[in-house]
Amino acid sequence: MVTEQYWFIFLNATLINNFVLSSFLGICPFLGVSGKISTASRMGAAVAFVMLISSVSAYAIHQALVAVEAEYLQLISYIVVIASAVQLVEMVIKKFSPALFRALGIFLPLITTNCAILGLALFQTNRHYDFFQSLSFALGAGAGFTIALVIMAGIREELQLSSIPDVVKGAALTLMVAGILSMAFMGFAGLGGN
Amino acid sequence: MSEERIQSEKMEIFLKGLWKDNPVFVMLLGMCPVLAVTNSVINAVVMGVATLAVLTLSNLLISSLRKLIPGQVRIATYILIIATFVTVADYAIKAASLEVHKALGAFISLIVVNCIILGRAEAFASKNSIGKSVLDGLGMGLGFTLALLLLGSVREILGNGSFAGIDLFGPNFQPLTLMILPGGAFFVLGSYLLLFNWFKHRKEKEQRELEAVTFYTGEATR
């Protein structure tokens, strides 16, 4: 019963209420880094990792803030923790894979201002998730973000080979494709059997 | 004369956010709230005004502190300033209308990570005088609100048959439900971008044709 509940939270964040395609979180990297599958999947992995760290930290911070009755500091402390987590990931990637560091470019520090991560921290607080629920929520959200990014990158790689009118090229076409993807993901509603 | 020029320069700073450098349609910044809260006109306008207020106030504070903030920690300082104003806006909206606060949900808090605000702080407020920064904040904020309003009107009229809660077409209207679902947001924003692209292309084409004509006549006279 309990494991079922964690599985449902995971599935819900990954497919049914996909962070990008139905909650509109993390649209900027979704439009910006979805040009190539290899970059997109690595970006997804980086975001998923930051999500995991910040979800755990946000849980701890929320407990601490409730204990000292200073909930109005929630937003400020969350954003500071996320910024530090991103800094950490940036240092690790720079050390172990300079090529990936260059490929991600400006979008790596911009993970800080990725609403998906702050959104995750705020959602898990609003929904009163306990520690393990938060953990499965973070894993699901990270997986969902990566899936959406990789699917989009795959479609855009194909689109490069087809001839499209000049007017449609760029963000407009990407948004239209995202709309169709979003409709496709609506088909997952009802999955998990409530 | 110079007085006039200063006046027109200020006007330009204010107006460029509305149209030429519109944050949503031209610069493609702050897409998340644009897509997420535009399922009704009221939500869109509240979100726009909240962003406008946060943007103007943070521009004001950042530009007045711009000589005191050390370069290495500037981004962190900006985010702290922005987060403070967003917390204020969050509590203000909660006090004014609990219903709207519920409808917007976490997206008010998410103004913190709206790229427009940090972008303007870094690109404009950190380099310009207080007056100009406030004007820039107002212009960009109004441009953002305008974009939200345009999106919100289309989605509410088509998806719900109403405008700001007022019924427009009577009971026989068959709403296009897709428009208030997530997919509709992508389609409507995509269509607006198409429209903007089309305008831009037509203008460029006219320009090219004009150049070609002058080139041709120039050759002929020689």
Looking at residue A193, its pLDDT comes to 52
CB B204 within 8 A of CB B183: no
B113, A113 Cβ separation under 8 angstroms: yes
Which whole-number Å values give the CA distances from A56 to A52, A53, A64, A78, B8, in the listed order? 6, 5, 13, 11, 52
Q: pLDDT tier at A194 (50, 70, 90 boundaries)?
A: very low
**How many domains is chain B built from?**
1
What is the Cα–Cα distance from B44 to B36, expressed in whole angstroms?
Answer: 9
For residue A123, give Cα distances in angstroms to A84, A93, A167: 20, 28, 38
Range of the domain at B80: 2-166+175-221
Distance CA A13, CA A41 (A): 18
* Domain extent listing, chain A: 2-186
- pLDDT at res. B138: 93
Q: Among A76, A80, A115, whose Cβ lies nearest the Cβ of B87?
A: A76
Write the residue in B90, B187, B201 that is nearest to A176 by C-beta.
Answer: B187
Q: Does B184 touch chain A (CB under 8 A)?
A: yes
Residue B1: pLDDT over 70: no
Residue A129, CA distances (Å) to A55, A135, B115, B130 in order: 11, 9, 28, 44
ipTM, interface predicted TM-score of the complex: 0.82
Nearest-neighbour CA in chain A from B131: distance (Å): 27
The mean predicted confidence, pLDDT, of chain B is 85
CA distances from B47 to A158, B32, B50, B152, B154 (A): 37, 12, 5, 11, 17
Secondary structure of residue B140 in the 3-state scheme: helix
CB-closest option in A80, A83, A178 to B186: A178
As a three-state string, the secondary structure of B167-214 is ECCCCCCCCCHHHHCHHHHHHHHHHHHHHHHHHHHHHHHHHHHHHHHH
Could you read off the pLDDT of B6-62 as tens digits, one per residue? 888 888 888 887 777 888 888 888 788 888 888 888 889 999 999 999 999 999 999
Report the gap between the CA of A7 and the closest CA in chain B (Å): 24
pLDDT at residue B193 tops 80 = yes
Cβ contacts of residue A125 below 8 Å, gap of 6+?
A58, A62, A74
Q: Dihedral of CA B53/B58/B60/B61: which sign?
A: positive
Interface touch B189/A175, C-beta < 8 Å: yes
- At A68, list the tokens: 């000292």
Whether A136 contacts A58, CB under 8 Å: no
pLDDT at A138 over 50: yes
Element (H, E) at A193: none
Q: Is A64 on the interface with B (CB under 8 A)?
A: no
Q: Is the pLDDT of residue B222 over 90?
A: no
Q: What does the pLDDT read at residue B145?
A: 93
Q: Which is more confidently placed, A192 or B181?
A: B181
Structure confidence at residue A164 (pLDDT): 83
SS3 sequence, B75-111?
HHHHHHHHHHHHHHHHHHHHHHCHHHHHHHHHHCHHH
The first and second tokens of residue A36, run together, are: 């190539």
Q: Which residues of B touch A176 (CB under 8 A)?
A: 186-187, 190
Asked if the model's pLDDT at residue A112 lies above 60, the reply is yes
Nearest to B125 by CA among B62, B71, B192: B62
Q: Tell me the backbone φ, ψ of residue A83, rounded to 5 degrees.
A: -60, -40
Q: How many CB atoms lie within 10 A of CB B164?
A: 13
How confident is the model over A74-85, as pLDDT tens digits?
Answer: 888 888 888 888
- Dist CA B141 CA A107 (whole Å): 24
In this predicted structure, what is the pLDDT of residue B57?
A: 95
Is residue A133 less than 8 Å (CB to CB) from chain B?
A: no
The pair of structure tokens assigned to B112 is 């913190």
Q: Give residue-wise pLDDT tens across range A30-86.
A: 887 788 888 888 888 888 888 888 899 999 999 999 888 888 888 888 888 888 888
Cross-chain Cβ contact A172/B193 below 8 Å: yes
Q: Among A7-11, A187-191, B57-61, B93-97, which stretch is predicted with the lowest mean pLDDT?
A: A187-191
Q: Hey, is the C-beta of A65 within 8 angstroms of any chain B C-beta? A: no
B167 forms beta bridges with: B162
- From CA A38, how far away is CA A150, in angstroms rounded? 8
What pLDDT shows up at residue A192? 58
Closest CA to B187 of B160, B164, B154: B154
Average pLDDT, chain A: 85
